[in-house]
Amino acid sequence: MQKRHSILRAYPVLGHIRFLMELVRPEVRQYFIESDTDATPFDRETRDLVYERAKGTKGNEPFGTPRDVNAVGYEFLRHSLRARAADELTPRVRLGGPDCSQPYDIALLNVSAMSFGALSANAIEALNRGAALGGFAHDTGEGGISPYHLHGGDLIWEIGSGYFGCRDAEGRFDAEAFAEKSALPTVKAISVKLSQGAKPGLGGVLPGAKVSPEIAASRGVPAGRTVVSPPSHSAFHTPTELMEFIAELRRLSGGKPVGFKLCVGARTEFLSICKAMLATGITPDFIIVDGSEGGTGAAPQEFEDHVGMPLTEGLMLVHNALVGTGLRERIRVGASGKVASGVDIVSRICQGADFTLAARAMMFAVGCIQARACHTNRCPTGVATQDPGRAHALDVPDKADRTYNFQRATVASAAQIVASMGLDGFHQLAPTMLNRRVDGQHTYSYAEIYRWLAPGELLTHPPESWRADWAVSRPDDFV
């Protein structure tokens, strides 16, 4: 009957064994969790951090977490002797370029794209209610807008290659259906998904057995029939057509912010998009960079591990390309990929982002324990399942509060880190403030390790390392 623990609601007897083991930690935890070869250090640390912040109990701890500060790749931020207390704990970033008539002020940390179908109805509703409590955005994922997305949270409506929620009978983009749904007051922005970090170059597959009448209604597809998302869009085929599609979506939505999401592949392809922006005069209001380290319960292992550019490299490439073409001031950049802490937010902004989104950490906030059963429809905590009995284990009001607690505490932590660096705000963060150990004896800042372009540099004197790609790229083809 209790509502606080999903495991106990689903397994009222066996679930107590798990919590009994926690009473004798760290010994049992050391044996059962730290020895888990399938869980990365990020997974283990993130679970602990998110769970504690979601429950509102994360604070100062004695001794902290052991770190090998001499390890190659270790990163740290520069603090200041002019440190002070943070003044603004809920900073926001405005999405809306010169052609946008309904700009949206987005939070620094938001719910990344996860569809109804991939997640249960209760999980989607909890995330949306949490977003409403905290005033942050909830990306719908490409599965469309369901009734569970409509509980007061601000929505970023993601439009994938299947055009779910705005498609005709043949699976093509339906402008009339899009205009109707984009007019919903809770839809604050529209994101065109070009590719996804966990499986770039692949479309999604939802087996017919999982296409319930509710999911079918949200996606605009027949119930009980397998749904396949094409690997690429049919509404456009070139960078120029992509810009024209963005302009059309902005017009149909009444001037709401429109952008696109991608996991970066070839640098020439993104430079081709930049050239299309320059040629047409059309720019997106935002670009979300999805890192290849992003996780999903429905992707081939090879794609998750070896296809697509990691977030750090992709984010800096996008930022530099926009700066080098003189477009950066018109476009806000979001970062999505293993963002879970205040340090993650600050680091990504140092690398070129304006705001961030999190998927895995938000799943932890609503109860995910990484049972790795997402693809089986047997998620034990009710997060990633369409089984009504299992989904019932997830208590919506409790998990909505936890989502809110996690987001608020994490952004507040990021704000305090920035204040501890002696800065007035996130806008003052720079690559010089993020450092990485490159070998046993040397540590350099990101400004020293990487080449950062000057405004308009690609248009006048492209540097040697960019010259060949800039020459090859073209607005009429994804080269």
Buried b (16+ CB within 10 A) or exposed e, 216-236: bebbbbeeeeebebeeebebb
Among 250-254, 376-380, 394-398, the range scoring the smallest mean pLDDT is 376-380
Query: Tokens 């810009």 label which residue?
Result: 243
Question: Is the pLDDT score of 27 beyond 50?
Answer: no
Backbone angles phi and psi of 26, in degrees to 5: -90, -5
Q: How far apart are CA 7 and CA 381, in angstroms?
A: 6
Q: Looking at the predicted structure, is the pLDDT value of residue 37 above 50?
A: no
Closest listed residue to residue 149, CA positions, set 108, 180, 121, 107: 121
Name the 3-class secondary structure at 302: helix
Decide which of 18 and 251 is more confident: 251
Residue 416 is encoded by which pair of tokens? 């305090």
Do the beta carbons of residue 218 and residue 162 sit within 8 Å?
Answer: no
Q: Please say if the pLDDT value at position 422 is more than 90.
A: yes
pLDDT > 90 fraction of the chain, expressed in percent and rounded: 66
pLDDT at residue 298 tops 70: no
At residue 34, the pLDDT reads 41
Can you list the alpha helix ranges (DSSP code H) found in 11-162?
15-23, 27-29, 41-54, 121-134
For the whole model, what pTM was predicted?
0.91
Q: pLDDT digit string (tens) for 73-83? A: 999 999 999 99
Look up residue 344 and give its amino acid: D
What is residue 59's predicted lDDT score, i.e. its pLDDT?
A: 65
Confidence of residue 24 (pLDDT cuts 50, 70, 90): low
Percent of the chain with pLDDT over 70: 87
- Between 13-27, 181-195, 339-353, 361-375, the lowest mean confidence (pLDDT) is in 13-27
Q: Return the DSSP state at 113.
A: P
**What are φ and ψ of residue 232, in 5° steps?**
-145, 170
Tokens of 330: 């018109």
Structure tokens at 328: 């950066």
Summarize the confidence of residues 330-336 as an average pLDDT.
97
CB within 8 Å of 157: residues ≥ 6 apart = 140, 145, 165, 181, 182, 187, 189, 190, 191
35 pLDDT more than 50? no
Residue 63: pLDDT band (50, 70, 90) is: low
Q: Is the pLDDT of residue 31 over 50?
A: no
Per-residue pLDDT of 343-357, as tens digits, reads: 999 999 999 999 999
Band of pLDDT at residue 33, cut at 50, 70 and 90: very low
More confident residue, 207 or 232: 232
Burial class (CB in 10 A: 0-12, 13-18, 19+), 375: middle
pLDDT tens per residue, range 128-184? 999 999 999 999 999 999 999 999 999 999 999 999 999 998 899 999 999 999 999
pLDDT of residue 21: 63
Asked whether residue 197 carries a pLDDT value surpassing 80, the answer given is no
pLDDT given at position 415: 97
Q: Say which residue, 429 or 169, is predicted with more confidence.
A: 429
